[in-house]
Amino acid sequence: MKTADVTRTSFAVLFLAALVGCSLWILKPFVGPTIWATMVVVATWPLMLRVQAALGGSRAAAVTVMTLLLVLLFAVPLALSIATLVENADRIAQTARDLATWRPSREAPAWLLALPMVGPKLAVAWEQAVAAGLEGLVVRIQPYAGGFTRWFVGEIGDFGSVALQFVLTVVIAAVMYAQGEVFGAQVRAFAGRLAGERGVGAVTLAADAIRGVALGVGVTAVVQAVLGGVGLALAGVPLAGLLTALMFMLCIAQIGALPVLLPAAGWVLYGGDVGWGVFLLVWSAIVGTLDNFLRPVLIRLGADLPLLLIFAGVIGGLLAFGLVGIFVGPVVLAVGFTLLESWIGEGGAPADGAPPAAP
């Protein structure tokens, strides 16, 4: 090859790389909303088709309905949570001040002694824990509360940024709903060009994985949060609506509802209401373990993949990519696992008793 050809090829590659880099830089603010919109549209596409059929085949009406559902699904809970925070701002501040000055009593509370069978033993354990330095432990933990709060706020970001991301997600999802077949054909054509029939199959598998995770993780989180919120409301726990929203986010993040329900049960017991406290403890055990039974069933309805693979993708994706990794992780693992399985199957089984051929 001539020197001129090498130079021209090198500059062409550099120009294409610079063009791709600049394009990604320009589109960076839209990457997150586009990923979220894609996950939402793929997961709810069968529902959109049913809505369209019910509305006489009108795509515009179906897109309008689905967009309004997205707005109601995200905007209404967010608005209610903010309204609850504003309405109870004084109570929250007072609770924070009380926690900052709280010191455990050296004597076990009366409600603990009143518990049948285990009350006296728990009272002895309480007194031993306080004598062993529980008070000093509380004092040492309290300074970290402010740092944790600042970290949490920094991770969430300001409200304006969250609102903008939400608006972009809804707008992009509406466009995808309107042109779903076009986008799907383009993705399948790209996958086919890249890997032939295997690439097209990988696209279908990715869609199934997204729907399975949306069913398993999303629906389970909604059920656990709603049931947990009902228990909090029945037990008379304040800010039940806000705590329900928090439980939903924790369930989506695969942490579960117990970090909210157990402290709430302890708060009710500490207030002396033993009956409702015991009820909330039992209710917490039911709600906290519900995902072990409900989530596998729902995931299998959406994707016929090994449950361990999907669960590893959910947890690993969450740790690697944040909240959107809940969907990205299982898709990547599902596609990779299927391609690996197909590649191994194409090798063929060796003859009976014959060792595999040397490379």
Percent of the chain with pLDDT over 90: 3
Euclidean distance between the first and final Cα of the chain, in Å?
A: 34
Please check whether residues 144 and 211 belong to one and the same domain.
no
Cα(287)–Cα(266) distance, integer angstroms: 16
The pLDDT value given to residue 340: 78
Cα(227)–Cα(220) distance, integer angstroms: 11
Cα(252)–Cα(167) distance, integer angstroms: 21
Does residue 218 surpass a pLDDT of 70? yes
Please check whether residues 39 and 146 belong to one and the same domain.
yes
Instruction: State how many domains the chain has.
Output: 2
* DSSP for 211-240, written as a single string: HHHIIIIIIHHHHHHHHHHHHHHHTT-TTH
The amino acid present at 56, given as its one-letter code, is: G
Tell me which long-range contacts 338-344 makes (C-beta under 8 A, separation of at least 24).
338/201, 338/202, 338/205, 339/198, 339/202, 342/198
Please check whether residues 192 and 338 belong to one and the same domain.
yes
Paired tokens of 292: 């072990």
Q: Residue 111: is it exposed, middle or buried by C-beta count within 10 angstroms (0-12/13-18/19+)?
A: middle
Please check whether residues 36 and 151 belong to one and the same domain.
yes
Does residue 359 surpass a pLDDT of 60? no
Please check whether residues 69 and 87 belong to one and the same domain.
yes
Please check whether residues 142 and 248 belong to one and the same domain.
no
Q: What is the mean pLDDT of the chain?
A: 74
Please check whether residues 201 and 334 belong to one and the same domain.
yes
Does residue 93 surpass a pLDDT of 80? no
Per-residue pLDDT band at 249 (split at 50, 70, 90): confident
4 assigned to some structural domain: no
Say which residue the tokens 């596998």 belong to.
Answer: 296
Give the other-Cβ count within 10 Å of 87's Cβ. 13
> Checking phi first, is residue 352 left (phi over 0); if not, alpha (psi -120 to 50) or beta?
beta
1 assigned to some structural domain: no
Angle at 223 between CA 218 and CA 224, to 5 degrees: 100
Please check whether residues 131 and 199 belong to one and the same domain.
no
351 assigned to some structural domain: no
Q: Residue 267: which domain range?
A: 180-344
Backbone angles phi, psi at 357, to 5 degrees: -65, 145
Please check whether residues 85 and 189 belong to one and the same domain.
no
Please check whether residues 136 and 254 belong to one and the same domain.
no
- Looking at per-residue pLDDT, the higher value among 57 and 5 belongs to 57
CB-side neighbour CA atoms (13 Å) of 355: 3
Percent of the chain with pLDDT over 70: 69
The pLDDT value given to residue 18: 92
CB-side neighbour CA atoms (13 Å) of 228: 36
Cα(116)–Cα(123) distance, integer angstroms: 12
15 assigned to some structural domain: no
Backbone angles phi, psi at 253, to 5 degrees: -80, 10
Please check whether residues 165 and 218 belong to one and the same domain.
no
Please check whether residues 202 and 159 belong to one and the same domain.
no
Give residue-wise pLDDT tens across range 24-63: 888 888 887 888 788 888 888 888 889 989 988 888 899 9
The pLDDT value given to residue 155: 45
CB 280 within 8 A of CB 265: yes
Cα(268)–Cα(21) distance, integer angstroms: 56
Give residue-wise pLDDT tens across range 299-355: 777 666 777 777 787 778 877 777 667 777 777 787 777 777 777 776 554 445 455
Does residue 278 surpass a pLDDT of 70? yes
Number of residues that make up the chain: 359
Does residue 225 surpass a pLDDT of 60? yes
CB 317 within 8 A of CB 327: yes
19 assigned to some structural domain: no
- Decide which of 128, 162, 178 is a domain's last residue: 178
292 assigned to some structural domain: yes
